[in-house]
Amino acid sequence: MPGLCKGDPRSKAPAVGSAAWVNELGRARRPGPALPAAALPAALGSSTLSVHAGSRDDPATGAVGTPIYQNSTFVLGAEQYRAIDQGYARDRFIYTRYGNPSQWAVQEKIAALEGAESALVFASGMAAIAASVLAMLDRGVHLIASKELYGGSYAFFHHELPSLGFSVSYVDPRDPNAVRAALRPNTMLLFFEAMTNPLLNLVDIAAMAAIARAAGAKLIVDATFVSPLGVRALEHGADLVLHSGSKYLNGHSDLICGAVAGSRKYVDRVWPRLLAYGGCLDPHACFLLERGLKTLALRMRAHEQGASAIAEYLARHRQVGWVRHTSRADHPDHALATRQLRQHSGVVAFALHGGDAAALALLPRLRLMREATSLGGVETLVSLPFNTSHAAFTAEQRAQIGIPPGCVRLSVGIEDPADLIADLDQALATI
Amino acid sequence: MKNGIATAALAELAAEVGERPQQGCVAYGVQLNWRSGTRAEVEALPMRIGDEQVSRGLRWEIDEPRQLGGSNHAPNPQEYLLSGLGGCLMVGFLVGASVRGIQIERFAIEVRAELDLAGFLGVRKGAPVALGGIRYVMHVQAEAGDAELEELRELAEAHSPNAMTLAHGVPIHGALARTSR
């Protein structure tokens, strides 16, 4: 393969050997890495980006769509050795943990959807969180995180980070004054979820970004619950945006993966942690994620439509005392949702008058909805916070953070809303 | 990576600073807290590099030898000054070698200086307080000719902030702030 750089051809080697000093090296950061492709037209919509961004037809056969590059290693050449020697190995194919065309394709698609320069995919959302958070920290520093964190993130922040010498303060994500009060001279990172579980509270990303900037800290936003179609966190000032790609990005409940997106500068900082901690995504999983992403916009419209209809139905039901969905005017963050969300998500929370016993009785009576954890899939999933995500809390602690007895979380799929409402209706009628 | 230095990242940093000059502005600080006698604990204050704050969390001690009234528990201020110069020259030399694609096998730098205590003690009118001069020797093992290594040494010195500060001098602005009990 003479002449092939086996990587991103726009990435040029620095002029090592001919430059006299650093200023003559002649290399600047650029978005990517990416394989060569005809440039897409500017200002494409999310549906078009979901389908086309990053995807590459096979040049050898004309096969439509990115081939699955199911290989662990690549044939080395002078350009690969040069990239290792001069520190731009992220732009060349060397070993799949470092990078693989199947990873690049889906990374480019995620970056396009997030309006980011660069992205990385991981073997799970937690792998993305661990590598990205640790990449942004110097030793011994302090972090501020939401007190409503997803359980997996909380376990990492509460159990792992202190063991590594970091300290963490937990604050109400809806209270900027509490965030400011928690700042310390060595606060280096603010970490919030764009939408919390199961209360579906929002965080004002621009306000958090302003606080972080003023304090010389970084802001990471986990946008798993809203997807890039709901909010483009980087445009609101986040430094990095994270996803558990197992949820909306992939959307079919058949894959565990994660992603981070941001500026090339910061994502390049995460990349060595991906290498060191090892959570890279297998090429076949990249294919599944890329295929799932192609219908993201279509699915998110269906999730939003179904969730809005179900929330409205539930709000009128006599056995339901409390409903949360950002489309509803009684959502405590409805004004922020109107300002910040481009699209509502498919997650609805509601509480039955009969408490946790009634909620438990509801689940086996549902015929279409699946009693399972996770969210963002094409099928509607239903779970109870009291015995899943918040099982470690007492009833009083759950009440303190606003989770009422009888709380049910629905991840509304893409089924016909009328069928889902009929399913809920028949189940509620027999409790 | 040759010499453990990513020349691609250096090039990208240079391009970034060329495009956005404020990204090249770096602010440093240390705070010395007196312990007793000539001994102090030093703490690196947060460093600012462009729009980023770097938390350091680094501490070290400073002392004088017994002959100068201390306990000889830590390097003294002049040794820190010389190591600060040597470290800065080392970075410049390794960067320059990496830019030229020269593999460095071994590198050491010896920095020496003298002063006349009469200046500090004030026992002889006109005795200089400052160091009489600083000499350093770089010990290098590398696949490169003497002329090229000498050129690198000169470039490293010319681009060394600490060397240029010491060679040309910069204003020092001092102030006093009273602390309450």
| Residue B25, pLDDT score | 97
Task: Note the Cα A245 to chain centre separation in Å.
Answer: 6
Q: What is the pLDDT of residues A224-271, one digit of tens each?
A: 999 999 999 999 999 999 999 999 999 999 999 999 999 999 999 999
Whether residues B56 and A138 touch (CB distance < 8 A) is answered with yes
A384 three-state secondary structure: coil
- Is A330 among the residues known to form the active site? no
Stretch among A218-232, A264-278, B47-61 having the lowest mean pLDDT: B47-61
Last residue of a domain, one of A256, A273, A293: A293
Angstrom distance (rounded) from CA A152 to CA A158: 10
Per-chain mean pLDDT for chain A: 95
Whether residues A217 and B155 touch (CB distance < 8 A) is answered with no
Task: Judge whether A156 lies within some domain.
Answer: yes
Domains of chain B: 1-75 (3.30.300.20), 76-168 (3.30.300.20)
Give the minimum alpha-carbon distance from A141 to chain B in angstroms, rounded to a whole number.
7
Contact predicate A129/A192, CB 8 Å: no
Give the minimum alpha-carbon distance from A217 to chain B in angstroms, rounded to a whole number.
7
Give the minimum alpha-carbon distance from A26 to chain B in angstroms, rounded to a whole number.
6
| Residue A4, pLDDT score | 81
Alpha-carbon distances, residue B9 vs A274, B107, B155, B157, B164 (angstroms):
18, 22, 20, 22, 25
Which of A27, A185, A217 has its CB closest to that of B11?
A: A27
Res A397 pLDDT > 90: no
Angstrom distance (rounded) from CA A387 to CA A198: 13
Res A1 pLDDT > 80: no
- Is A97 among the residues known to form the active site? yes
Task: Judge whether A68 lies within some domain.
Answer: no
Res A70 pLDDT > 90: yes
Q: What is the pLDDT of residues B75-110, one digit of tens each?
A: 999 999 999 999 999 999 999 999 999 999 999 999
A324/A423 same-domain check? yes
Alpha-carbon distances, residue A213 vs A195, A206, A270 (angstroms):
21, 10, 20
- Burial of B40 (C-beta count, 10 Å sphere; 0-12/13-18/19+): middle
Which of A20, A27, A84 has its CB closest to that of B12?
A: A27
| Residue A399, pLDDT score | 87
Residue A236 lies in domain? 100-293
* Angle of CA points A149, A343, A117, to nearest 5°: 75
Q: Which of A92, A109, A218, A247 is catalytic?
A: A247
Whether residues A265 and B16 touch (CB distance < 8 A) is answered with yes
Q: Which of A8, A91, A204, A222 is catalytic?
A: A222
A286/A407 same-domain check? no
Angstrom distance (rounded) from CA A82 to CA A36: 20
Would you list which residues of chain B are within 8 Å, Cβ to Cβ, of chain A? 1-2, 5-16, 18-19, 46, 48, 52-57, 95-96, 98-101, 155, 159
A213/A329 same-domain check? no
CA-nearest of A389, A16, A323, A309 to B11 is: A16
A253/A300 same-domain check? no
A277/A315 same-domain check? no
Which of B19, B55, B101 has its CB closest to that of A17?
A: B101
Q: In the structure, what pLDDT confidence band is assigned to residue A412 with cuts at 50, 70 and 90?
A: very high
A133/A160 same-domain check? yes
A343/A406 same-domain check? yes
CATH number for position A333:
3.90.1150.10
Q: Is the peptide bond before A198 cis (omega within 30 degrees of 0)?
A: yes
| Residue A398, pLDDT score | 86
Mean pLDDT of A4-23: 94
Which of B1, B16, B19 has its CB closest to that of A85?
A: B1
Domain count, chain A: 2
Angstrom distance (rounded) from CA A80 to CA B125: 66
Interface test with B, best of A138, A184, A268 (most B CBs within 10 A): A138
Last residue of a domain, one of A293, A313, A346: A293
A300/A288 same-domain check? no
Q: What is the pLDDT of residues A184-211, one digit of tens each?
A: 999 999 999 999 999 999 999 999 999 9
Look-up of token digits 């006599």: A318
Cβ within 8 Å of residue B60, ≥6 positions away: B41, B42, B74
Whether residues B15 and A86 touch (CB distance < 8 A) is answered with no
Res B5 pLDDT > 70: yes
Whether residues A17 and B15 touch (CB distance < 8 A) is answered with no
